[in-house]
């Protein structure tokens, strides 16, 4: 236990005695454990931690104690991005800020005197008297970047690049909304326009889709060509007459997908391109032993892997 922590324990003992707070002994035990961890801890996590160390306190008491710590200036409460409140040590005369990883929820503390000074300077430029501040930087921690180095946000994809949608970080509401537009995880899109500001224009099968930059930032994509171990997927419309393939997935609007699935266009089903019409447009396919025609543009929404199973 370091020196500051020792000091703080003693201060707390004195304070609690002076204020006549009950169960001071228990609370001091809690502070000991709290100071021993360098985590940003929630009250429920602290209860668990205490239990591990052999102290069985009721959660209400622990929460109450943490609030007391906060009131008397031994702990500090943080609410990151709408999560449960997390408590950390508060050492007088010290201030630090946080880096928060949006993927693994890791919180990194940092201190930067230049930044502190800069804040004061900015405040005074506006004739503003700064009382306190809170600095939270959200992003991906180095571990997360290393493990998923190939992933990037849709907003940073280059024009002309083909990318595959991997993940939506904007919550299921956004995901639902995008799904109704026909954009789902696993879909391949081409970036038609991305000028670095303003909306992006994507080609999704046969339709163009404009997405705001804000939404695009919340969509994680994998640039195609960097994929490993997967069989190449092509659009059904890219096949030649007589070629056989296996359906990988059907994209497009809900009604269209459902119609195709009802007609038997299911994942894993074998399909043969019988012929293209004389004017090149609709194409004739054989699936599940019957013949069906699709417009080329519609067939482009069906992804297949070439060669039968």
Partner 1 sequence: MPKQTFTVALAGNPNSGKTTIFNNLTGTRQKVGNWPGVTVEKKQGHVKQNGYDITLVDLPGTYSLTAYSIEEIVARDFILDEKPDVVVVIIDASNLERNLYLATQIRELDTKVIFALNMVDVAQENKIKIDKKKLSELLDVPVVPMVGTRNEGTDLLLNTIISVADPTQRITHQSRRVKYGHEIEKAISMLETFIRKNSKDKIPYNPRWTAVKLLEDDKVVKERVLNGTGAHGTAILDEAFKGRRRIFDFFNDEPEIVMTDQRYGFIAGIIREVQKTSSENRVDISRNIDKILTNRILGIPIFICLMWGMFQTTFTLGAYPMEWLDSGVGWVGRTASRLLPPGIFQDLVVDGIISGVGGVIVFLPNIMILFFFIALFEDTGYMARAAFLMDKVMHLIGLHGKSFIPMLMGFGCNVPAIMATRTLESKNDRILTILINPLMSCSARLPVYILLAGTFFAANAGNVIFSMYLLGIILAIAIGRLFRTIFFKGEAAPFVMELPPYRVPTFKNLMLHMWDRSKIFLRKMGGIILVGSVIVWFLSSFPQNIQHSTPQNRPAEYSAEMTRDAATIAEVKEAWGVERMENSYIGRLGKFIAPVFAPIGIDWRGSVAILTGLVAKELVISTMGVLYAAGDEENESEALQSALRKSGMTSAAALSFMVFVLIYIPCFATIATIRRETNSWKWTFFSITYSTILAWIVAFIIYQGGRVLL
Q: Nearer to partner 1 by C-beta: 28 or 248?
A: 248
CB of 271 to partner 1, least distance (A): 13
CB of 224 to partner 1, least distance (A): 20
CB of 223 to partner 1, least distance (A): 21
Q: Nearer to partner 1 by C-beta: 123 or 179?
A: 179
Q: Nearer to partner 1 by C-beta: 40 or 218?
A: 218
Q: Nearer to partner 1 by C-beta: 90 or 259?
A: 259
CB of 161 to partner 1, least distance (A): 24
Q: Nearer to partner 1 by C-beta: 140 or 302?
A: 302
Q: Nearer to partner 1 by C-beta: 95 or 249?
A: 249
CB of 282 to partner 1, least distance (A): 5
CB of 128 to partner 1, least distance (A): 44
HEC string of the chain equals CCHHHHHHHHHHHHHHHHHCCCCHHHHHHHHHHHHHCCCCECHHHHHHHHHHCCCCCCHHHHHHHHHHHHHCCCEEEECCCCCCCEEEECCCCCCCEEEEECCCCCEEEECCHHHHHHHHHHHHHCCCCCCCCCCEEEECCHHHHHHCCCCEEHHHCCCCCEEEEEEECCHHHHHHHHHHCCCCCCCEEEEEECCCCCCEEEEECCEEEEECHHHHHCEEEEECCCCCCCCCEEEHHHCCCCCEEEEEEECCCHHHHHHHHHCCCCCCCEEEEEEECCCCCCEEEEECCEEEEECHHHHCCEEEEECCC
How many other C-beta atoms can be found within 10 angstroms of the C-beta atom of residue 123?
Answer: 14
* Alpha-carbon gap, residue 182 to 176, rounded angstroms: 10
CB of 257 to partner 1, least distance (A): 6
Query: What phi and psi, each to the nearest 5 degrees, are found at residue 100?
Result: -120, 125
Q: Are 54 and 80 in contact (CB under 8 A)?
A: no
Between helix 43-52 and helix 59-71 the angle, nearest 10°, is 120
Q: Nearer to partner 1 by C-beta: 158 or 295?
A: 295
Q: Nearer to partner 1 by C-beta: 2 or 290?
A: 290
CB of 217 to partner 1, least distance (A): 20
List of residues contacting partner 1 (CB under 8 A): 172, 175-176, 179, 184-185, 253-264, 266-267, 274-282, 284, 288-295, 298
């Amino acid at each position: 236990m370091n020196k500051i922590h020792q000091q703080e324990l003693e201060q707390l003992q004195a304070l609690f005695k002076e204020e006549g707070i009950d169960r001071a002994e228990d609370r001091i035990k809690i502070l000991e454990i709290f100071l021993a961890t360098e985590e940003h801890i929630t009250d429920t996590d602290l209860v668990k931690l205490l239990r591990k160390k052999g102290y069985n306190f009721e959660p209400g008491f622990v929460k109450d104690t943490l609030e007391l710590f906060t009131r008397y200036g031994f702990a500090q409460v943080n609410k990151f991005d709408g999560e449960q409140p997390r408590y950390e040590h508060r050492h007088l005369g010290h201030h630090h800020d946080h880096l928060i990883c949006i993927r693994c929820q890791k919180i990194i503390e940092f201190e930067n005197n230049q930044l502190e000074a800069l804040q004061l300077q900015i405040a005074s430029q506006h004739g503003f008297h700064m009382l306190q501040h809170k600095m939270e930087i959200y992003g991906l921690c180095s571990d997360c970047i290393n493990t998923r180095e190939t992933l990037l946000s849709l907003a940073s994809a280059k024009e002309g690049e083909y990318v595959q949608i991997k993940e939506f970080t904007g919550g299921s509401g956004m995901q639902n909304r995008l799904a109704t537009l026909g954009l789902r995880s696993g879909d391949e899109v081409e970036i038609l326009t991305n000028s670095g500001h303003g909306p992006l224009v994507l080609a999704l099968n046969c339709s163009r889709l404009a997405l705001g930059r804000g939404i695009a930032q919340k969509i994680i994509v994998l640039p195609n060509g960097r994929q490993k171990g997967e069989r190449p997927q092509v659009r059904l419309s890219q096949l030649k007459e007589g070629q056989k393939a296996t359906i990988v997935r059907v994209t497009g609007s809900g009604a269209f997908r459902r119609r195709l699935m009802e007609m038997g266009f299911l994942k894993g089903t074998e399909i043969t391109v019988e012929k293209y019409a004389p004017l090149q447009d609709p194409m004739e396919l054989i699936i599940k032993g019957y013949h069906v025609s699709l417009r080329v543009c519609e067939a482009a929404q069906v992804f297949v892997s070439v060669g039968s199973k």
